[in-house]
Structure 1
Amino acid sequence: MTQIVTSLAEISDRYKALFVDLWGCVHNGITAYPEAVEALKAYRERGGKVVLVTNSPKPRAGVAEQLTHFNVPADSYDTIATSGDSARSAMFRGEVGEKVYFMGEWERDAGFFEPLKLLDHPLNVERVPLDEAEGIVCCGPFDPMADPSVNRPDFLYAKQKGLKLLCANPDIVVDRGEIREWCAGALAKLYTEMGGESLYFGKPHPPIYDLARRRLHALGVDVVDSDILAIGDGPHTDIAGGMGEGIDSLFITGGLAASETKTSYQPDPDALNDYIIKEKINPTYSIGRLR
């Protein structure tokens, strides 16, 4: 059974690095959680490394810029690994073809198509209408408030053409302040359920953890998995991902699961245990909010 803790400092000395989720843990999509920021800063001051591991479809630089707007200071983390960076690499390697149908908000997601200098011979990817596409790149829904089922007609057509869907953000939903929005993961899930093929690169799938380890190594430190703690509020992304990678995890119950775990300051132990059993997850530790 998970151990309920009162603060990160209570357990952080056991770990040399943290893989920390952003949305729902460090910020709410609008502004930072001050206690979370202070906890990460204190951890770094004691010598630990903080890798922000996010399912954002943005490149690393775009996330860093966004964090500035959310009042998350640069001294609260060391580096960033994004689902977007992992998925972009796959796109420019040609995983879904050269001509792609784009799903998302272009003003927000245009950075996804910026040239990737890490590859020797990146594909010249072109955005085209669905009827001309060789594949789909999904950074999110066109309308995050609309039910994913509105995409069924397009997905049926795409499935019949045999198009693969590259999902740049496996999250199903996020809470922007008090408003819950659909994410790219909900669309990819629907496409798969309809018989289409979806490709995932963010949590809980291995590519983003490989990227996070490379970013950690680039800091000049070698950390074994037993010395890494994954932190997040997503049961099927952050916690399932940590379980799949053999990494200990700290479940933030006051995020997506606040209602089910009856979290105010801390989760209700019985409600938390019922939730863990229902969702088939096994977080090492749990806490109401990152602090």
Structure 2
Amino acid sequence: MTTPLDRHDVLLADLDGTLYRGPEAVPGAVEAVLAARERGVATMYVTNNASRRPADVAAHLVELGFPATGREVVASSQAAAAMLAEQLPAGAAVLVVGTEALVEEVTGAGLTVTADAAEAVAVVQGHSPDTGWRVLAEATVALRAGAVWVACNVDPTLPTERGPLPGNGSMVAALRTASAREPQVAGKPAPALLHEAAQRSGATNPLMIGDRLDTDVEGGRAAGMTTLLVLTGVSDAAELLAAPEALRPDLIGADMSALDRPVDELAPGPRPGWDARPSGDGALELSGDGDPLDALRVLCAVHWAAGGGDVQVRAVGDGAERALGELGLRPATVEGADTPDAAGAHP
């Protein structure tokens, strides 16, 4: 039996929605990371959230039971500051839309911080729960004057214990509308963050794990890495089934415990007990009985092979009816995730 831990020498794990939701660990996530470490497979914690210092993120992880140090946390704030430092002269003034953690990354990269649009040669934008109109207005003035614009990430929502709430991408969308500009993006799905995490670990075959198709999976694929989607956060079965090719994961798991499952069982493809086939009217028909997640893997394989996109799924028999209900695929219409154009951002 070959598991993901047999094939990969480091886990690049997303945080929000994958390992924890706000103040609580996702069930089974701590045990999975500890078990991986016992097998000699380390974890690098890769986050698009730029609101906290890496050391603070590591401290929170340790409180929840994860083994973590500040060096093992790779945040989009670090990538954004590095992008600015590559484009600007030392000491250049940057208007920061974000928290003190982002300010520290900017100044640590040899740049200065200003609150005045007239002085700013660049704007960097990261998530902050306190972002308000005044700083967005100042950033708009700077951007309209030609300032460099780097967004730490463009996640439209942020997973919390209360459900998805507005993320940095929602604030980026406000500036995009007001300035008629497009930002450079430091975090996922751009590959730089994941390449940095892999390089720090010294790994040669990383596995990217996350709960979002349009950041974690898309970013992992852009970085040339194997991807595992866990259904503990934002992306659900309907979004997965309708996903375009660039957002389709290599492996599908209910949660982090999938790391101990055979790779062949996690990949989309045939599964004992299930059958899916196109019907004459363009829908998919599912029949059989067993693990609902196996049914989803079968549905994905059949639907993606036929080109993918929005589809209706119909159950044939009680077992299929139960599976579709547990997967949230009833009612039958499966619609795709918001595109960047429709949502104004990737997460």
TM-score (norm 2): 0.63
Q: Is the 8 A contact 1:56 1:63 kept in 2?
A: no
Deviations 1:229-269 (A, max 9, x none): 110012111000111122111111231024xx2xxxxxxxx
Q: Is the 8 A contact 1:103 1:142 kept in 2?
A: no
5+ residue gaps, structure 1: 1-8, 117-121, 262-270
- The 1:236–1:181 alpha-carbon spacing in structure 2 relative to 1, beyond 3 Å, is same
- Alignment-derived partner of residue 103 in structure 1: 97
- Alignment-derived partner of residue 163 in structure 1: 147
Q: From 194, 199, 217, give the equivalent of 2:184.
A: 199
SS at match of 2:150: strand
Q: From 160, 170, 178, give the equivalent of 1:176.
A: 160
Q: Which moved more, 1:17-26 or 1:49-58?
A: 49-58
1:76 is displaced (CA, Å) by 9.9
Confirm or deny that 1:254 pairs with 2:236: no
- Alignment-derived partner of residue 28 in structure 1: 21
Q: Which moved more, 1:239-248 or 1:127-136?
A: 127-136
Cα distance in 2 for partners of 1:50, 1:156 equals: 38
Confirm or deny that 1:128 pairs with 2:115: yes
Q: How many residues align?
A: 253
- The 1:110–1:33 alpha-carbon spacing in structure 2 relative to 1, beyond 3 Å, is same
1:48-197 alignment, distance < 5 Å: 48-57=41-50, 58-69=52-63, 71-74=64-67, 79-93=72-86, 95=88, 98-106=92-100, 109-113=102-106, 115-116=108-109, 122-123=110-111, 125-141=112-128, 143=130, 156-192=140-176, 194-197=179-182
- The 1:54–1:75 alpha-carbon spacing in structure 2 relative to 1, beyond 3 Å, is closer
Q: Is the 8 A contact 2:80 2:151 kept in 1?
A: yes
Q: Which has the higher contact order (CA 8 A, sep 6+)?
A: 1
5+ residue gaps, structure 2: 258-347
1:78 is displaced (CA, Å) by 8.3
Q: From 198, 201, 210, give the equivalent of 2:195.
A: 210
Cα distance in 1 for partners of 2:70, 2:140 equals: 42
Deviations 1:182-205 (A, max 9, x none): 222333345446531412111111
1:159 is displaced (CA, Å) by 3.6
> RMSD value over aligned CA atoms?
3.1
SS at match of 2:195: helix
- Alignment-derived partner of residue 11 in structure 1: 4
- Alignment-derived partner of residue 206 in structure 2: 228
- The 1:143–1:285 alpha-carbon spacing in structure 2 relative to 1, beyond 3 Å, is same
Q: Is the 8 A contact 1:41 1:75 kept in 2?
A: no
- The 1:79–1:289 alpha-carbon spacing in structure 2 relative to 1, beyond 3 Å, is same
Q: Is the 8 A contact 1:49 1:77 kept in 2?
A: no
- The 1:191–1:244 alpha-carbon spacing in structure 2 relative to 1, beyond 3 Å, is same
Tell me the amino acid that sits aligned with residue 23 of structure 2.
I
Deviations 1:150-175 (A, max 9, x none): 98755653442112222123322112
1:31 is displaced (CA, Å) by 1.8
Q: Which moved more, 1:161-170 or 1:200-209?
A: 161-170
Percent identity (aligned): 24
Tell me the amino acid that sits aligned with residue 94 of structure 2.
V
Larger radius of gyration: 2
Q: Is the 8 A contact 1:174 1:180 kept in 2?
A: yes
